Amino acid sequence: MAHSKQIKSVLIVGGGSAGWLTAGILAATHRHEIEITLVESANIAIIGVGEGTWPTMRQTLEKIGIAEGEFIQKCDASFKQGSEFINWGCAQSHSYYHPFSLPVGFEQGIDMVTPWLDVKDKVDFAHAVSAQAYWCDENKAPRLPSDMQFAGKANYGYHLNADKFAKLLKEHCTERLDVKLVVDDVCEVLADSEGDILAVKTTEHGQLVADLFIDCTGSKSLLLGEHFGIPWLSQKHVLKNDSAVAAQVSHSEAHANIASCTKSTAQPFGWIWDIALPTRRGIGYTFACDYCDFEEAKQQLANYITEQGLAAPALDSIREIKFNPGFREKFWHNNCVAIGMSAGFLEPLEASALVMIELSAQYLSENFPKTRCMMNVVANRFNAKFSYRWQRIIDFLKLHYVLSNREDTLYWQTMRAEHIPQSLQELLLLWQYQPPKHGDLDYIDEVFSPASYQYVLYGMGFSPAQYQRASANVITQQEINTLFKQVTQNAKRGLGTLPTNRDLLTNIAKFGISTI
């Protein structure tokens, strides 16, 4: 009888970006069918030290009804067009882009890698196939002031203040999407006779009963981890970074340039992220504590900040963060699903944390179980899909290290050579003989598409065996030259018309963004 029970209420335990994004995505579609409540503690700080999003965030914001101008102004946000990787190779001057826009011809299945290899000494891969690389060189914005909200001349995401983002989501969900908020501490999890969660007991509000519980309690994982005991599958043997130090640093001047990409600069024992917002830069160093302690990491971070011409903070004011890279053995057990860090976290590289929250909440919204019986089916499918996704993210992140030729520390030697997943080894062998393309990966909705693999492979100097022109979609050399020329023409046009990130954000602060 219990299995035919209708699912009419959801309790999200934990706020932050994970809890409130999940609440917003669910409520945008289901608020007239189910009651959505979020309980969060007043005593838990948000971990975010400056976040990067994927372009998917534009669709998410539009779906839940937050205007782009409001988001930018209230979250101290800036535009992000991809990532720049600096010093990941031996040469100190080495850098490359992983832009958000697809390589020219990629959607049509045209191989631009093979003809690029003939001219790779003259132009790097990203600049050969994407105008966006040129725009990032000049800190350009991806859109004009006259463009409609969430639209632009190139694919883009955002950089944002994570604390302000969570506050905006909370305000929007409670005031416009009918999400009920309970501010309290959860002190106990109560189960029914069949093992499902019946309710969570709070300090001041007593028992909060629901049909479905969503664990957004971060690495503590009060429900899935502590209550149900679902194991955490550590991936530290593959991705050794397990620590970070972070600081918020003022710009050198009020109108300093705002970079259009996340800057990821390799260090002796990890790498530094550098995220520019309108009012400050969020800078942090993620590293492996097996090779470096917090004090050494803080000093290396301070050195980087000073090299950027910024005032380095006192070492004792720099935040220390510990994490265990990995994910849960399963993410949905009985009537409880984990989203956010309670489900998994690897490292900040390529900003996969927020997008996995978006993907998880979106999947739940699109496949929301109507009954307890249906929940079992959805849970099995959810577990299979997200286990696959975490594994593929590991492959993609590990790729960055495997391709590095840095020899300066044991850290880099080990990251490059040890515990390479078999799936990644097979792809690297395949790509010795053909460029990454549609069909090389299992699903059309991969977290990282073959285009992303192309940017990293050839940005890092991957040297394939002799590629041969594919028989399918063969185009002439003249047509290939036309596509390459199209990139440079588009780049030149954008450089002449697009404002800088700083100038566009100043314009938005004054005039907003058109929503008509």
Q: Is the separation of the CB atoms in 104 and 487 below 8 Å?
A: yes
- Residue 130: per-residue pLDDT: 98
Average pLDDT over residues 469-491: 84
Q: Is the separation of the CB atoms in 335 and 213 below 8 Å?
A: yes
Q: Are residues 360 and 408 in the same domain?
A: no
Helix (H) or strand (E) holding 452: helix 450-459
Tell me if 77 is assigned to some domain: no
Q: State yes or no: pLDDT of 477 exceeds 90.
A: no
Q: How far is CA 236 from CA 17, 239, 394, in A?
A: 25, 5, 11
Using CA atoms, how far apart are residues 197 and 184, in angstroms rounded to an integer?
18
Q: Is 240 a catalytic residue?
A: no
Q: Which is nearest to 223 in space by CA: 233, 232, 231, 213?
A: 213
Average pLDDT over residues 205-226: 97
In terms of DSSP bridges, do strands 51-52 and 78-80 run parallel, antiparallel, or are they unpaired? unpaired
**What digits encode the pLDDT tens for the residues 222-235?**
999 999 999 999 99
The strand pairing partners of 345, in sequence order, are: 326
CB neighbours of residue 375 within 10 Å: 23
Q: Is the separation of the CB atoms in 382 and 364 below 8 Å?
A: yes
Alpha helix (H) residue ranges in 308-409: 352-366, 372-402
Helix (H) or strand (E) holding 345: strand 344-345
The full DSSP string for 272-314 is: EEEEE-SSEEEEEEEE-TTT--HHHHHHHHHHHHHHTT--PPP
- Residue 3: per-residue pLDDT: 67
Sole residue written with tokens 């309710």:
199
Sole residue written with tokens 């917090």:
294
Print the SS3 string covering 106-144.
CCCCCCCHHHHHCCCCCCCHHHHHCHHHHHHHCCECCCC
- Residue 476: per-residue pLDDT: 87
User: Average per-residue pLDDT in the chain?
Assistant: 94
End residue of a domain, out of 344, 365, 391: 391
Tell me if 202 is assigned to some domain: yes
Sole residue written with tokens 């990787």:
85
**What digits encode the pLDDT tens for the residues 353-398?**
999 999 999 999 999 999 999 999 999 999 999 999 999 999 999 9
Number of domains in the chain: 3
Q: Are residues 217 and 354 in the same domain?
A: yes
Burial level of 475, CB count in 10 A (0-12/13-18/19+)? middle
Average pLDDT over residues 233-251: 97
CATH number of the domain where residue 188 is located: 3.50.50.60
CA angle 19, 328, 100 (to 5 degrees): 65
Residue 4 structure tokens: 């035919």
**What digits encode the pLDDT tens for the residues 269-323?**
999 999 999 999 999 999 999 999 999 999 999 999 999 999 999 999 999 999 9
Tell me if 426 is assigned to some domain: yes
CA angle 443, 445, 447 (to 5 degrees): 105
Buried-state track 160-173, b at ≥16 Cβ within 10 A, e below 16 = bbbbbbbbbbbebb
- Residue 51: per-residue pLDDT: 85
Q: Are residues 228 and 331 in the same domain?
A: yes
Q: How far is CA 69 from CA 36, 73, 148, 243, in A?
A: 27, 6, 10, 35
Tell me if 303 is assigned to some domain: yes
Q: Are residues 397 and 387 in the same domain?
A: no
Using CA atoms, how far apart are residues 253 and 435, in angstroms rounded to an integer?
44
Q: Are residues 398 and 492 in the same domain?
A: yes
Tell me if 510 is assigned to some domain: no
Q: Are residues 362 and 460 in the same domain?
A: no
Residue 81 structure tokens: 């067009």
Average pLDDT over residues 6-22: 96
Residue-range definition of the domain harbouring residue 220:
2-50+161-236+325-391
Tell me if 197 is assigned to some domain: yes
- Residue 1: per-residue pLDDT: 41
- Residue 44: per-residue pLDDT: 73
Q: Are residues 120 and 181 in the same domain?
A: no
- Residue 452: per-residue pLDDT: 98
Can you give the pTM of this predicted structure?
0.96
The full DSSP string for 150-170 is: T--SS--EEEE-HHHHHHHHH
**What digits encode the pLDDT tens for the residues 133-180?**
999 999 999 999 999 999 999 999 999 999 999 999 999 999 999 999
Q: Are residues 42 and 176 in the same domain?
A: yes
Q: How confident is the model at residue 505 (pLDDT cuts 50, 70, 90)?
A: very high
Using CA atoms, how far apart are residues 440 and 450, in angstroms rounded to an integer?
7
Tell me if 154 is assigned to some domain: no
Q: Are residues 413 and 423 in the same domain?
A: yes
Percent of the chain surpassing pLDDT 90: 90
Q: Are residues 222 and 369 in the same domain?
A: yes
- Residue 48: per-residue pLDDT: 55
Tell me if 348 is assigned to some domain: yes
End residue of a domain, out of 305, 322, 339: 322
Q: Is the separation of the CB atoms in 85 and 92 below 8 Å?
A: no
* Active-site entry in 8, 80, 153, 398: 80
- Residue 221: per-residue pLDDT: 97
Residue 128 structure tokens: 């050969």
End residue of a domain, out of 376, 391, 406: 391
Least confident piece of the model among 94-108, 407-421, 473-487: 473-487
Residue scoring higher pLDDT (476 or 142): 142
Q: Are residues 341 and 265 in the same domain?
A: no
Q: State yes or no: pLDDT of 118 exceeds 60.
A: yes
**What digits encode the pLDDT tens for the residues 91-102?**
667 899 999 999
Q: Are residues 204 and 292 in the same domain?
A: no
- Residue 170: per-residue pLDDT: 97
